[in-house]
Structure 1
Amino acid sequence: MQDTIFKVGLIGLGSMGRNHLRVLSMLKGFELAFVADADAQVAANAGDIHGVPGVVDPTPLLPDVDAVVICTPTVTHAQYIRLAAAHVKNIFVEKPLTATLGEAREIAVLAEERGLNLQVGFIERFNPAVLALKTVLERTERVISLDFTRTNKVSARITDVDVVTDLMIHDIDLALYLNGPARSVAAHGFGHGSMVDFASALITHENGQFSRIQASRVTDKKIRQITGTCVDMYVDCDLLSKEILIHRQSQVNESGSLPYTISAIQETVAIAPQEALLSELQSFMAMCRDPATAARVPGIEASVAAMEICAQIQAEV
């Protein structure tokens, strides 16, 4: 199975879809079989460049592929998952899984019935800074609270979901990934009409730890940051620059036994460069080869859990 080449179809050639196309076209183990987009010209152009069919309707081509990657607008995710599931077991869909929690639960039932191997595009799980942070937190004496900040200016390409489903869901998933299942959620926010543009939430986890999450689309400054307060250290993780700083508690020479006093200790964690999207699609390929590895990737269960918290936050806001 290690040498198996999987034929993969890509549906959706927007900004994220083009990134997937770039990686899929050079990833050993995947053979691009077709590209599809609602814009016939966009699909045809991409197909010509990569030497594969470029279509609007992928339905006739689905029986001949082993896997499908879905990067269409959120409101169409459920539609395309159902379409692909009629022919293919291996499905990757960009986050969020679906536009609504109800649809997500329906897809969860479908996935169980069809035995789907379904991965959801929570790309920050594959950010090398997050992977390093998880190791750091596993070695601390105790995590008290994690703070997540994610800001962006309003995107012209994201018009179908609010800041909670667009941005905050990444950190909700990370909060559950790093701190465990949630016990309760409290939130407040700001928006225009029914579209939330700023949200702040406090998640209390079942293990007694806390996650404070803030997401905004009303600022031009782009921030992707996680900070951790632990009993024995403070951790500052920048997801953009891929940097982690650890601030240890000061050591005071109260007895006078040492000729010096350490007032602060700061450590820098070395992080090896790695493209998160490449790692993410490599994990999808591994799942295609061996479904037993599905437990290592964000799938249906993780996505529904994150969307349940999104729904609670949106209701409170």
Structure 2
Amino acid sequence: MPLPPIPLPPIPLPPAAVRRVLEAAYAEDAPSGDLTSLLLIPADASATAELRARVPGVFSGGPVVEAGFRLHDPGAVVELLVSEGEAFAAGAVLARVTGRAQAILTAERVVLNLVQRMSAIAALTARYVARTAGTRARIVDTRKTTPGLRELERYAVRCGGGRNHRFSLSDAVMAKDNHLAVLTGGDPARLTEALRGVRARLGHTTHIEVEVDRMEQIEPVLAAGVDTVMLDNFSLEDLRAGVELIAGRAIVEASGGVSLETVGAVAATGVDVISVGALTHSVVNLDLGLDVVIGTP
């Protein structure tokens, strides 16, 4: 299936987030320097290396490529040969870097690790987006991200044409089944009152979402004036019924066990949002390589 075009460039990746991840990764990978490169490669040697795709995919990670090499060699020249969110074929040269050979060799693995993962997430997201074409549904990620890499992984989702759910626990109220079990003590009659109490304590810009796992919870949740109702692990028939019952009174999100095989049918039920944890928690890194094409000892 062809990958869909990305209509707008993704919201940029904050440079501070890129630097934070890179510094932590290099501290882990070369805590006392790159012993091999320091001993084998002359300090004044230069090189040009190409980032090449060994499989097709969708590119994400240009800011990481640029910052990753320049952290070790501020004078490195980095050329990005594809755009963020652009589909590429196997064999494509995605970027080229020229600079101190020691620095390129030291930076290589960290840059590859991150860009391989980001491009894999972008490619997988693009496949989900393609399978919902012609529907109103948006594909969004979840908080099931790699610790420390959330900003990069969620940027990759945007590169693939997807959108982001709340970034952290601090961004919105999202009451799930365990919250409701504690909040109501299992008494559905207390649900509306409890959620209205939450709304009364919040500012008007804070979003409230509530997860439901059965139809009879929907009306009590809507009566509290929530913004989004998440239909969790609903059958296709119940998703259609839930959309009809909610009838535009809130955003409808479908969640739970969504796959490439099922996402098209889920989107066809009329939901507004489909959250897919697999975009980040189950992706397999794309095979990209960095090859030195010119070396000057």
Same fold, TM-score > 0.5, yes or no: no
- Higher Rg: 2
Q: Which of the two has greater strand per residue?
A: 1
The structure showing larger relative contact order (alpha-carbon pairs under 8 Å, at least 6 residues apart) is 2
Q: TM-score, normalised by structure 1?
A: 0.28
